[in-house]
Structure 1
């Protein structure tokens, strides 16, 4: 049975894991959409490469999202990653007394 403090740590860790999952979703959408935009640009207006504006602008937003999400955390996904990450964050909070 978990104490109230452990329950709060678990909820906090879950929120952090959700932020990380949201970032990876954002990255996946970027990786799918940008090539489509490049293809459209090169097919219809090959003499003017306007795709750079989308790619760089969105890339900056993605980089800022990464900085916000991974404030000191290792970027690694593996088997049972979510549960391991939740436990790691809970242990970290426990050591820090939060």
Structure 2
């Protein structure tokens, strides 16, 4: 019974962590969508000759994309397969070092 409770607790913890990650991403996206129109208006009203808001949109937009890739497990680099491969690599390296001692 204890193993079953432990597994359920672990599953609940992972689900709770996943929901938190999703919520944080959607909060980040919401702030991006709500703040950038204000930034655009301020730029147009104060210095219409130079559209600096584009730099804000691009920088923050890249951050949103990277955040989304991470949250939805779509990163082109440093994903779970990479982590598992590195763990095996490190364990093998340590194992080989111990064999030489």
TM-score, with structure 1 as normaliser: 0.70
- Taking the TM superposition and a 5 Å limit, the aligned residue runs for 1:65-76 are 65-71=67-73
Q: 1:60 maps to which residue?
A: 62
- Name 2:92's counterpart in structure 1: none
> Displacement, 1:3?
1.3
If asked which structure has higher relative contact order (CA below 8 Å, sep 6+), I would say 1
SS at match of 2:30: helix
Output one character per residue of 1:20-69: Cα deviation in whole Å (capped at 9) or x when no partner: 00000000000011000000000010111000000000000000000000
Q: 1:21 matched to which residue of 2?
A: 23
The correspondence of residues 19-98 of structure 1 with structure 2, limited to 5 A, is 19-71=21-73
Query: Could you state the TM-score of these two structures normalised by the residue count of structure 2?
Result: 0.68
| Count of residues in Structure 1 that have an aligned counterpart in Structure 2 | 72
Q: CA RMSD in A?
A: 1.5
Q: Name the larger-Rg structure.
A: 2
Give unpaired runs (5+ residues) of structure 2. 75-101
